[in-house]
Amino acid sequence: MMYRFQMNYGRKAERRGFLSTGLLVLFFTSVGYGQIRTDSLLRIFLYQPDQVLVASHRGNHVSHPENSLPAFKAAVQAGAAVLELDVRQSKDGHLVVLHDRTVDRTTDGKGNVADLTLSELKRLHLLFDGKPTAWRIPTFQEALEAVKGDVLVDIDFKADTEEAAEACYQIVEQLHMERQVLFFLYDPTWVPRCLSRNPEIKVMPRARNAEMVYTLLNEPRVRVIHIDDSFYSDELARDMRDRGVRVWANSLGNADRTALEKEGDFEGFFDRMPLVNIVQTDYPQALVNFLTTKN
């Protein structure tokens, strides 16, 4: 996909005693200049910290089955800069995109993903609003191919073997998408191991407290850290941004619901965490709309 257009969420006034930098959002429309969208996104991700990037959780699943190919494409169309997806391993070693340990909630089948072969998984239909659709569980490779060049991909890796992790890296490399993806790491001790395997692939460790953030800032190759609102402070976020590190936080759950109850007003989220510059949401279109109206 080839997109380029930027819209700003202008500079805020002083809030709660702190001077907040401007919040900006990317909203991309198709252009024909031969430049893939991810080239622009990557430059902004790395070098323009004042631009807020919208991350779409499991694709745009407001109108499509979660973690489905149409949900991924709809996330791009909504203007999301980052697509989050979940990776698991089938019984016969294939990587598939599914959030839960079982297929029970999101498909018309039953059982553990790890106990089903790829062929068995592919016979299942993804659900939307509790009803079967024509869409099937995508493989990890199918998911990447569907959005190659369109969006940065946050890989929430839920397979638990070294072999699966190696297979994941190999698929990314075969598709030449090393610069387009980042690995979400629940355990920050994995950072050196992942970076040594392929330093072009970005990692996003999840910090559990401010002290962990400052430890991670000692690794210069870490360019984004997932934080929680429980320990957010403007000082912490400013220190991260001064080091060239993106500040990722979730608007999932209550924050998303509150925004929707206020007709898509995410002001409360940014009141609490004004210096966050990647926001993950279940409602990417609503967040993009909110930020663009604040131009």
| pLDDT interval class at 35 (50, 70, 90) | low
| pLDDT interval class at 161 (50, 70, 90) | confident
pLDDT at position 25: 46
Phi-psi region of 266 (alpha: psi -120 to 50; beta: other; left: phi over 0): alpha
pLDDT of 34 over the 50 cut: no
Q: Tell me: the pLDDT tens digits for 1-24?
A: 222 223 333 334 333 332 333 444
pLDDT of 99 over the 50 cut: yes
pLDDT of 185 over the 90 cut: yes
pLDDT at position 33: 38
| pLDDT interval class at 171 (50, 70, 90) | very high
Q: Tell me: the pLDDT tens digits for 121-145?
A: 999 999 999 999 999 999 999 999 9
pLDDT of 282 over the 70 cut: yes
pLDDT at position 7: 32
State pTM to two decimals.
0.89
Distance CA 264, CA 288 (A): 10
Distance CA 20, CA 234 (A): 8
Distance CA 98, CA 87 (A): 6
Q: How far is CA 273 from CA 16, 221, 240, 256, 260, in A?
A: 11, 24, 13, 14, 18
